[in-house]
A and B are shown apart, each in its own frame.
Chain A
Amino acid sequence: MIDPRVDRSTPVLVQGITGRAGRMHARRMRDYGTRIVAGVSPRAEVADVDGVPVHATCAEAVAATGATASVLLVGAAQLADAVAEAVAAGIRLVVTPTEGMPVHDALRTRRLVQAAGVTWIGASTPGMAVAGEVKLGFLPEASLLPGPLGLMSKSGTLSYESGYRLTAAGVGTSVWIGVGGDPVKGTRFAELVPFYAAHAGTEALLIVGEIGGSEEEEFAQALIEHAFTKPVFALIAGRSSPEGITMGHAGALVHGRHGSYAAKAEALERAGVTVCGSLDEMTRAVSAWHAARA
Chain B
Amino acid sequence: MFLLEHDGKSLLARCGLPVAAGVLLDTADFDPSLLPIAPWMVKAQVAAGGRGKAGLVRAADDLAAVRRCMADMLGATHRSMIVRSCRVETRVAQAHEAYLSFTLDAQAAGVRVMLAAEGGVDIEAQAQVAGAVRSLVLAPEADALEAGIARLVEGLSPRLTAALGDAARRLARVFVDEDLTLLEINPLFVFDDGVWLAGDARIVTDDNASYRQAGLRALIDDRAVAYPEAWRKEHHGCDYVVVDPQGDIGLLTTGAGLSMMLIDEMRAAGLRPHNFLDVRTGGLRGDPTRLVDVLRWISEGPRVKVLLVNIFAGITDLGEFSNLLLEALSRVPQFSVPVVARLVGTRVDAARTVLAARGIALHTSLDEALAQVRVHLAEGMPA
Residues of A within 8 A of B (CB): 24, 76-77, 100-104, 107-108, 110-111, 114, 126, 138-140, 142-143, 153-161, 164, 181, 183-185, 188, 208, 210-211, 213-214, 218, 235, 237-242, 245-254, 277-280
With contacts A139-B314, A140-B315, A161-B258 taken as known, whether A250 is within 8 angstroms of B103 at the C-beta atoms is yes
B256:A248 contact, CB within 8 angstroms: no
Q: What's the least CB distance linking B317 to chain A, in Å?
A: 11
Partner of B133 from A160, A210, A253 at Cβ < 8 Å: A253
Q: What's the least CB distance linking A261 to chain B, in Å?
A: 9
Interface presence of B204 (CB below 8 A) = yes
Q: What's the least CB distance linking A156 to chain B, in Å?
A: 6
B314:A156 contact, CB within 8 angstroms: yes
Residues of B near A279 (CB, < 8 A) are 261, 265, 366
Residues of B near A247 (CB, < 8 A) are 103, 182, 204
A102:B212 contact, CB within 8 angstroms: yes
11 cross-chain CB contacts under 8 A: A102-B206, A104-B179, A107-B111, A142-B345, A158-B257, A183-B104, A237-B264, A245-B2, A246-B49, A248-B101, A253-B133
Q: What's the least CB distance linking A96 to chain B, in Å?
A: 13
Residues of B within 8 A of A (CB): 2, 47-49, 80, 99, 101-107, 109-112, 114, 123-124, 127, 133, 135, 139-140, 176, 179, 181-182, 184, 186, 202, 204, 206, 208-209, 211-212, 243, 254-261, 263-265, 267-268, 312-315, 344-346, 366-367
A250:B312 contact, CB within 8 angstroms: no
B257:A181 contact, CB within 8 angstroms: yes
Q: What's the least CB distance linking A149 to chain B, in Å?
A: 18
Residues of B near A139 (CB, < 8 A) are 314
Q: What's the least CB distance linking B7 to chain A, in Å?
A: 14
Q: What's the least CB distance linking A215 to chain B, in Å?
A: 8
Residues of A near B255 (CB, < 8 A) are 155-158, 160
B47:A245 contact, CB within 8 angstroms: yes
Known: A140-B315, A155-B255, A188-B106. 14 other contacts (CB 8 A): A104-B176, A107-B104, A142-B345, A143-B314, A160-B314, A181-B256, A211-B260, A237-B258, A240-B268, A242-B243, A249-B124, A254-B105, A254-B114, A278-B264
